[in-house]
Amino acid sequence: MEEKEPVKSSEDFRKIDQSEVAEGTEMDMFYALEVVFRYRYFIVGFTFIVGVLSIIYVLVATPLYKSDVTMYPVAKYQSSPLGELARGFGLPNKIEGFHIPEVIKSKQIAKSIILKKYKTEQYPDSVNLIQYWKLDEIHKDEVFAMEAATKAFENIMTIKDDKETLLITISIYMPESQLAADVANYIGVAVTDYLQSEQKKTTKASRIYLEERLNYAINRLEEAEKNLITFKSENTLTTSPALRSELLRLERSLKLASDFATMLEKQRELMSIEEVKEKPIVSILDTAEKTRKPLKPQKRQVVITNTFFGFFLSIVMAFLKEKYYTNENIRKVAAIIRKEKKK
């Protein structure tokens, strides 16, 4: 009597599947190690070549240094006599309307920075950025050279504007560390000078406007005084209600004209003081300093990263060669090429 084969449970099938997977994984690992061992000389050689090329690159690549300068707008000027005058007379205060990052990006600031003379390692006698970038040799026309320099300057500068703290960070990237620091520091000087110049222009325009209004107020005051004197000389007895009412009106007009002239005189004096006073619009928090290590290339990181990349790439190439670059595949490709030639 034949014995029946015991029915296998799901657990038995699961154990069989797991054992097959483990066996297959072990075989794949041995196969991978075998391929790596067979192509070990290629892997080591390829990795070595990539490492050597990376070292050569970091040695000959042009370094790029970064320098930062930080500034923030001074808010005290908002309560200045100029601001009070603008709000009182409904005049626009041009200085309060400036957005500092846009001023930094302006062509006027860029032009002053580009034309500034800097001492560099290559040009110890000082050159501007057009000469440093040799744009004058490429563009004989000064206008085109300035346009090219402006675009180049935009590429080497980044601006970070913190909306909460109002802190503005300007970063300059140059091949020379000291040059990057000099350019970054001069940006702060150029922006400060420009805003102070604009402030003085606005203050001068306000002073001229006040002087015109003050002359008008003085004429009104003199006219009010004459009218009051004439009225009193012609009406020595002001017993009637109509005459007393007219006298009060003339005296009130005289007082208003006097108060108006006095206010304008005070504002004119304040504007005269503001015009000659050096008042900063932005404050430099941290000046740019010379950095020792370049931002790019990071030599150690580049060499290590490229070497590891070359190592893994060589392994991938070894497996691709093992799978596709066989004698049978080569014969198939050669047969296809021969057929194409015959056609």
Q: Is 170 helix (H, G, I), strand (E, B) or coil?
A: strand
Q: Identify the pLDDT of residue 91.
A: 46
Q: Identify the pLDDT of residue 81.
A: 52
Q: Identify the pLDDT of residue 83.
A: 53
Encoding tokens for residue 9?
């449970």
Distance from the Cα of residue 46 to its chain's centroid: 42
Q: Identify the pLDDT of residue 112.
A: 92
Q: Is 266 helix (H, G, I), strand (E, B) or coil?
A: helix
Q: Identify the pLDDT of residue 152.
A: 92
The vertex-88 CA angle with 85 and 94, nearest 5°, equals 50
Q: With CA atoms as reference, report the closest residue to 195 among 114, 98, 293, 63.
A: 98
pLDDT digits (tens, 9 = 90+) for 61-103: 778 899 999 988 875 444 455 555 554 544 444 445 567 888 8
With left for phi above 0 and alpha for psi between -120 and 50, is residue 90 left, alpha or beta? left
- E-strand ranges in the chain read 65-73, 157-161, 168-174, 282-286
Q: pTM above 0.75?
A: no
Q: Identify the pLDDT of residue 242.
A: 81
Q: Is 306 helix (H, G, I), strand (E, B) or coil?
A: helix
Residues 6+ apart with CB under 8 A from 308: none
Name beta bridge partners: 159: 170
Residues 6+ apart with CB under 8 A from 159: 101, 104, 105, 168, 169, 170, 171
Could you give the CA distance from residue 234 to residue 136 in angstroms, rounded to a whole number? Answer: 83
One digit per residue, pLDDT tens: the chain, 343 residues?
444 455 444 444 444 444 544 444 555 777 778 878 888 888 888 889 988 888 888 777 778 899 999 988 875 444 455 555 554 544 444 445 567 888 888 888 999 999 999 988 888 888 999 999 999 888 888 889 999 999 999 999 999 988 888 889 999 999 999 999 999 999 988 988 888 888 888 888 888 888 888 899 889 989 988 988 888 888 776 667 887 888 888 888 888 988 888 888 888 888 777 777 766 678 888 888 888 887 777 778 878 888 889 888 888 888 887 776 665 655 665 666 666 666 5
Q: Identify the pLDDT of residue 93.
A: 45
The vertex-277 CA angle with 81 and 205, nearest 5°, equals 60
Q: Identify the pLDDT of residue 338.
A: 66
Q: Identify the pLDDT of residue 296.
A: 77
